[in-house]
Structure 1
Amino acid sequence: MNPRFYQHFWDLVGGDVSSFVIKCLNTRVFPEKLNDTDVVLIPKKCVPETVADMRPIALSNVLYRIMAKMIANMMKSLMAKSVPHILSDLLVPEDVTRISRIPVSPDYEDSCYWFSDPKGIYTVKKAYRQVVGNIEYNPTNFGKWITLWKLKVPPKWKTFLWRAVCDILPTTTNLLMKRVEVDPVCPMCGLIHEDVMHTLISCDYSKIVWTISGLPVTNVITHSLPFWLTGILDMLTEEQCGLVVAVLYHVWAARNMAVWEGALPRPEQTWRRAATTYQAYCQVHHCSRQPVQQPTSLPGGLEARPRCFFNAGFNHQIGTATYGAVLVSHDGAFLAATNNHLATSHSPLMAEALACKEALSWIMARGVWQCCRSPTNLILAHSTNL
């Protein structure tokens, strides 16, 4: 029952409440769950979205609060008499005299005051700042925040880029630091540990996407994403910077697809999605821009020839590897396929290299002698133009 109930029906329940409280105080025993408190979150607005939109309120037992108030009022008179004796035991006489001269009025009720706030009001945010301290911005890490927030790209891309620069994306390295048990290997290449710089820039899959895009980002060599992005924003045009953000966002989306769906899209598809999405955003928002540069076509009409797609699988536990290859025509029609085991393969990288060798031997055995490899079709690209 809330306090208003007891106030309204005090003529009915007042005698029972007084008898119960006096009995508990005299016997120094009260029911076990009398002091239980329920914390209820009250929404501050109609549709709360975060914890900050909720106001915590503690609901305690009214009878317990009545007893606590009675004890506090009784101790006020006792403390006024016993404080001088306590001070004399702890402090020197000079300090006792000074403390005794401080005016204290027993008519005032005690109240809580939070010393970190000028008004004495406590909030969870201020307590958190008191514990962890204020976050100081280090200008040596990244000094292009204004330029970043002014980019003409979707807001969620800017938020993603902010999280990447601050290194708070859920990469395997960050998850392990948070004591989350995950496989530390990169889900895209499966070779080394995954951090933000590796996932977005230096991973073999990411390198292929950047090569296909034709953006001059390989000239910026660093092991820090903030420094890399600073060089990109200083060197490239506004349109190119928008494309860079689009590629970064869709590379991360491809990484998430590999984690949650177990399927990694082809690098060409990732670049095509990034370019198409950015182009559509610019058309809707009437951004002045040039058409997106598509990957250069192969010389001599090689794009009209058949294509071979291959891939390799590697089992870390037993150390065995397999490969598969599919031959399709220039318009995507199926021609032939093959698969088999790979011998003497000790790593995923070796498995990919052997798969490429076996695929080339297979297509040459079928009488396809002319082949071409563009710069975008590396060993890990899973495709070779013929």
Structure 2
Amino acid sequence: MASQGLVKMGCRRRIGGGRTTQVWAHPWLPNSQDPFVSTDQLAINQGMMVADLVDDVTGTWNTNLIQQIFNARDASLINKLPLNDTYDDLWYWEGDITGNYSVRSGYRRLGDVLAPNSYVWSSIWKLKIPPNRKNFMWRALSNILPTLDNLIKKRVELVNVCPACGLVEENVMHVLCSCTYASLVWNLLQLPIPPFNGNSFLFWAELWLGDASTLGCDVRGRICGVLHGIWSARNSVVWNGNLPTPTALCNRLSSSWVAWQEYGARPKVPQAHLNTSFVHEGQRQNGVRCYVDAAFHNSHQNATYGFLVMEADGSYVAAANGPMECPYDPLMAEAMAVTEALSWLKNNGYAAASLFTDCAVLVTSLSNTRSFRSYIGFVLDACIRLISTMPGTIVTFVRRDANKAAHMLAKHENAPAVCSVWRDGPPSF
């Protein structure tokens, strides 16, 4: 029952035809902080459904009506949402790309709630460190580690004396930072950590994880490893009665970090993603080659696409870029860019093509569209329908350096304003 609030916090309405979603009562706008309509509701708009904002003739948003009813913020968000009348409105979970709730996404959202500095949390999730250390850091920053003071708060009868030093009471800040044992470890490693001032572990972590920190990702990752190692040494005392010497612990931490950098921190792109494509069954790769990418511009995060079409022998065919109406969602933008490229190829008479994208998640998602409850499912379905009309067409993952031309097209200064197609080659970048 206690988790109901967390689940409700991440639930959103995906708009299909808009017939079962109330404009003012449901969380349906593409804004993670506030998905509800902020415009004051007038008496004449009581009970308005999202479908009432759709043009009956075109099946698109009635932009004139939206501009009349809603403030600028709400109108902009509404116009960025895709519409598809063939789908029903339904609930989806915002914290997962498929729209399905998972324990992992729930933990992430809970971390955002418990920690006021969202940058600290995003920094933790982006660090290239083992998953168990990310989980440990989440527990430490949330102050839910089973330290003696926390156990006493849960009415466990024990004496609060630090197991490592045996001198003072134990809390998160003491055991990981200011304990005599922890201090010896930090002194031996000589990492550029901020001083241990105060009793707030979260405040101290913000000094080296926050946006004002000048430490690189490698140093931050090593600090997380040391914190995890000190906690493991503390547990060794509690459960085995054995505390490794500070020198032994430092040697172990240094060797484990080198091993992780060598074997564990490399990009986790499965080999199958490098060679696996979404292929129309029974067909081989053929047709023109098309490199496609998406980008976001300026503070308004305007989405754009770009693609480059070439013959199989490498000769130039055409290039195009243009704006897209899309919420700030990188995966959706990549899928929409592929849809734009497929539509262009079909409209220009190409029966087959090999599309290349630097988004491995998109290639995998094209084979699992039925699992998507989020808006991305709309776009993936559109991609598959276009592919089915062009037998032999495939979508393949390539590295960013191989997709540089499409990326530059998407980021080109003309892309946010107009849709441009160059038959004689794009302007120089």
TM range (shorter): 0.3 to 0.5
| Greater share of residues in helix | 1
Specify the structure having the higher radius of gyration (Cα). 1
TM-score by length of 2: 0.35
TM-score by length of 1: 0.38
